Amino acid sequence: MIYRNTKLLKILRDIPCQSCGASDGTVVAAHRNEGKGMGLKNSDALTCSLCYHCHYELDAGNKLTKDQKRDMWNRAYVNTMQYLWEHDMIGIK
């Protein structure tokens, strides 16, 4: 069973893009694209906040190599986790 968390996905829409910093109303949760089957989304635990433009470049763009896309997502994921923890948006109960 793949982990799903609608509360987390909503929180990720409410923070700035963790790649470019945009806060333009287009930010969504971007799932990791590796380690999944075709047409399937990864666990919601493997998501970061990306705006439309960054998310598009990651999923369908042709400006970045596969390694650059992986690095972009990894940086955005780390930035997302740091933002959520430092702003008390997630925590240990």
Angle between the 66-86 and 52-59 helix axes, to the nearest 10 degrees?
Answer: 140
What pLDDT, on a 0 to 100 scale, did the predictor assign at position 68?
A: 97
Whole-angstrom Cα distance, residue 32 to residue 59?
Answer: 10
Positions of the chain with pLDDT lower than 50, given as ranges: none
What pLDDT, on a 0 to 100 scale, did the predictor assign at position 34?
A: 78
Q: What burial class does residue 31 get, using C-beta atoms within 10 Å of its C-beta: 0-12 exposed, 13-18 middle, 19+ buried? A: buried
Torsion of CA 75, 20, 9, 71, to 10 degrees: -20
What pLDDT, on a 0 to 100 scale, did the predictor assign at position 41?
A: 81
CATH number for the segment(s) 6-32+42-86: 3.30.50.20
What pLDDT, on a 0 to 100 scale, did the predictor assign at position 76?
A: 98
**Per-domain boundaries in the chain:** 6-32+42-86
